[in-house]
Amino acid sequence: MTDSPHLLDELRPVAFGIAYRMLGSVSEAEDIVQEALLRVHQALDGGEEIASPRAFVATVTTRLAINELRSARARREQYVGEWLPEPIITDGHDDPAVHAETADSLSLALLVLLAALSPEQRAVLLLHDVFDYPYDEIAAIVGKKEDNVRQIAVRARRHVAARRPRFRTTHQQREALARQFIAAVEHGDVGGLEGLLAHDVELTGDGGGKVPALTRPVRGRTRVARTLIAWTRAATRVPGIAMRPAEVNGDPGVLVLDSAQRLISVWALDSSGSEVVGVRSIVNPDKLAHLGPVADYDSLLRSMR
């Protein structure tokens, strides 16, 4: 007899890894995972023979995620400002980060690129390129012929490859770059910060209409540097605000905290070579709540004034 609770514990990271990358949302992914594991449990409880529980849960999770993306399309089209994925902190061992397998495919930059693909393109690319499923199994999961799945993968891969940075950096290089970035921002060193940014660097903010944020991306090293320094100078009017380095979705990042160690925002840095090519700032409190206590933004704004 199958040890069902133990099996479900083993399958949870598989389901979460797929669902989170598909949806870019921790809360939505957790809902999908719960439903997928419930279906596994019901199948086993009903005496169904499951040759490969991992393949079974991957199939159920992918199909549920595709359905969720289709139903969420209208909501995301009406989203206020730029939409960014919910961040996860990957330098610890707390849920849900520990469950998102293969952290090198977790970056917010990649998740943003995936969000531009159709649900089927996203599923095919992730299952094949990240989770190593063969095309015949993927075809069965998404309900298409194998030749069609291969064509979908080629188109999706081309879209992502055309927009990813050309030069990847080592973990140590990214950490060093992040330390220099934080130091320049904290000291108000515009010139030093500009020296760390690519000429076409892009700063994106996501407030979701809940708190003030950039309504559209800011581009160019001078504009981005001045914007980040201005944010930091405004924040220093409130006693106790601090910036702490963290690994965000497998990449260097920054946690901005208030005096009570409540989260104000998460910055994720995307680098290429020795330069920062993208900064993504998530301040939407709904997208930060899974990480811990969130600051009272209205109170912070009153303090800044």
Residue-wise pLDDT tens digits, 124-146: 999 999 999 999 999 999 999 99
The CATH number of whichever domain residue 203 belongs to comes to: 3.10.450.50
Q: What confidence tier does 97 reach under pLDDT thresholds 50, 70, 90?
A: very low
User: pLDDT by residue (tens digit) across 252-298?
Assistant: 899 999 999 999 999 999 988 889 999 999 999 999 999 999 999 88
| 173: Cα within 13 Å, side-chain hemisphere | 12
Q: How far apart are CA 84 and CA 86, in angstroms?
A: 7
Query: Would you state the structure tokens that stand for residue 20, as one six-digit string?
Result: 């989170």
Q: What confidence tier does 75 reach under pLDDT thresholds 50, 70, 90?
A: confident
Q: What confidence tier does 174 reach under pLDDT thresholds 50, 70, 90?
A: confident
Q: What confidence tier does 99 reach under pLDDT thresholds 50, 70, 90?
A: very low
Q: Is 47 exposed, middle or buried (0-12, 13-18, 19+ CB in 10 A)?
A: exposed
127 & 182 share domain = no
Q: How many domains does the structure of the chain reveal?
A: 2
Helix (H) or strand (E) segment spanning residue 243: strand 242-248
| Structural domain containing residue 124 | 4-163
Which pTM does this prediction carry? 0.90
- Contact status, residue 36 vs residue 28, Cβ threshold 8 Å: no
Q: Which of 139, 163, 187 is the last residue of a domain?
A: 163
Q: Which of 128, 163, 198 is the last residue of a domain?
A: 163
Identify which has the larger pLDDT, 205 or 101: 205
The CATH number of whichever domain residue 51 belongs to comes to: 1.20.140.160
Mean pLDDT taken over the chain = 89
| 185: Cα within 13 Å, side-chain hemisphere | 27
**Sheet of strand 263-272: strand arrangement:** 218-219, 197-206, 275-282, 263-272, 251-257, 242-248
Rg (CA), the chain: 21
Q: Which of 131, 163, 195 is the last residue of a domain?
A: 163
**Cis, bond preceding 134 (omega within 30 deg of 0):** no
